[in-house]
Amino acid sequence: MAPARPHRGGHEGAEDGVVFETSRSATGERCGLAFTSTEALVSRLGPDQPWVALPIGALRHLLGETGISVVAVDPYIPAETP
């Protein structure tokens, strides 16, 4: 499972799709996020986080097309401070 949100095509003829959520690694590199279960995703990002299910290879390929070569699986995500 990968956190993602719907994306509407910006103009007539543009296709709708999804935008994958990304984060930064400890070294500051942009990375994709993936989770091995819905429980893991919800425990880290909350029940309102939209997501899509796809094979990790497909996620790596899609993110790779945008220059992202790292995917963090079941990453630790610190709670936001108010």
52 to 16, 29, 45, 71: CA distances (angstroms) = 14, 23, 14, 15
d(CA 29, CA 47): 27
pLDDT above 70 (res 12): no
pLDDT above 70 (res 10): no
pLDDT tens-digit readout, 22-81: 999 889 999 999 999 999 999 999 999 999 999 999 999 999 999 999 999 999 887 664
Instruction: Name the residue type at position 49.
Output: Q
- What's this model's pTM, rounded to 2 decimal places? 0.83
State how beta strands 71-73 and 30-34 pair. parallel
pLDDT band per the 50, 70, 90 thresholds, residue 9: confident
